[in-house]
């Protein structure tokens, strides 16, 4: 196994574990977990935006000419997944917590996590630096995602055992996607890899702005804006460190 393959597998497993930790937190103390998750959500939103705009997009521009189109496509793909497959949405508000929970929602969450895993594979295939940034962005948003999803499933009156099974499958989808990517990203031509990276950037922009930031607005705590900006600065400085 090469170092790159090892990094892909390890970081996707960490992302899967992050989802499970989210579930554990909710089961341990839902109130505390929900009250504090917004800090992590703010940080993750900043990380995802900065990773997309400062690293993924500039890097894809170097190997592909159709970057703007593919960023838009990535945004659209995730919009469709989150909007049509996942009928449950991240929402800490009790009133909107109970949506009709269908098998489709669960499939949507699993597909989302699968694509997160493939994104890690694509990132590391472009370069180890891009891989690390992609992995950080995936890992950090998986935890709040696991937390929010579990909380919604709990309010939809699903049995704990069932929630655990759902959470485990969604968590496993990330390493599964990453391992699958090992088989095909190697053979991709550079410009196609660039387009795939641009799709990842678009998906991160969607998740940050349409899934995470609305949560921040809802919490109405001023500190969250500072945390989001801190997330951006953190990625900016990390980029300086790597170059």
Interface residues with Zn ion (CB under 5 A)?
Answer: 116
Q: Which of 66, 63, 55 is nearest to 193 (CA)?
A: 63
Nearest approach, Cβ of residue 224 and Zn ion (Å): 20
Q: Which residue number, 15 or 130, has a Cβ lying nearer to Zn ion?
A: 15
Q: Which residue number, 163 or 173, has a Cβ lying nearer to Zn ion?
A: 173
Nearest approach, Cβ of residue 35 and Zn ion (Å): 22
Tell me which residue has its CB nearest to Zn ion: 116
Q: Which residue number, 64 or 228, has a Cβ lying nearer to Zn ion?
A: 228
Q: Which residue number, 64 or 215, has a Cβ lying nearer to Zn ion?
A: 215
Nearest approach, Cβ of residue 92 and Zn ion (Å): 17
Nearest approach, Cβ of residue 141 and Zn ion (Å): 5
């Amino acid at each position: 196994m090469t170092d790159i393959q090892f990094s892909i597998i390890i970081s996707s497993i960490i992302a899967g574990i992050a989802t499970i930790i989210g579930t554990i937190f909710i089961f341990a103390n839902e109130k505390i977990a929900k009250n504090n998750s917004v800090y992590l959500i703010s940080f993750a939103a900043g990380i995802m935006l900065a990773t997309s705009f400062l690293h993924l997009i500039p890097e894809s521009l170097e190997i592909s000419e159709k970057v703007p189109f593919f960023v838009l496509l990535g945004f659209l793909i995730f919009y469709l997944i989150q909007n049509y497959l996942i009928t449950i949405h991240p929402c800490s508000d009790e009133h909107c917590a109970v949506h009709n929970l269908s098998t489709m929602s669960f499939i949507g969450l699993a597909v989302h996590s699968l694509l997160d895993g493939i994104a890690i594979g694509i990132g590391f295939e472009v370069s180890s630096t891009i891989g690390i940034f992609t992995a950080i962005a995936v890992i950090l948003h998986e935890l709040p995602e696991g937390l929010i999803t579990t909380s919604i499933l709990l309010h939809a009156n699903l049995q704990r055992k069932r929630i655990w099974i759902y959470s485990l499958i969604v968590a496993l989808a990330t390493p599964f996607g990453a391992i699958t990517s090992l088989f095909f990203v190697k053979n991709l031509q550079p410009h196609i890899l660039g387009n795939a990276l641009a799709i990842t950037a678009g998906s991160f922009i969607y998740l940050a702005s349409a899934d995470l930031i609305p949560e921040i607005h809802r919490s109405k705590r001023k500190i969250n804006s500072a945390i989001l900006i801190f997330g951006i600065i953190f990625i900016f400085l990390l980029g300086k460190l790597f170059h």
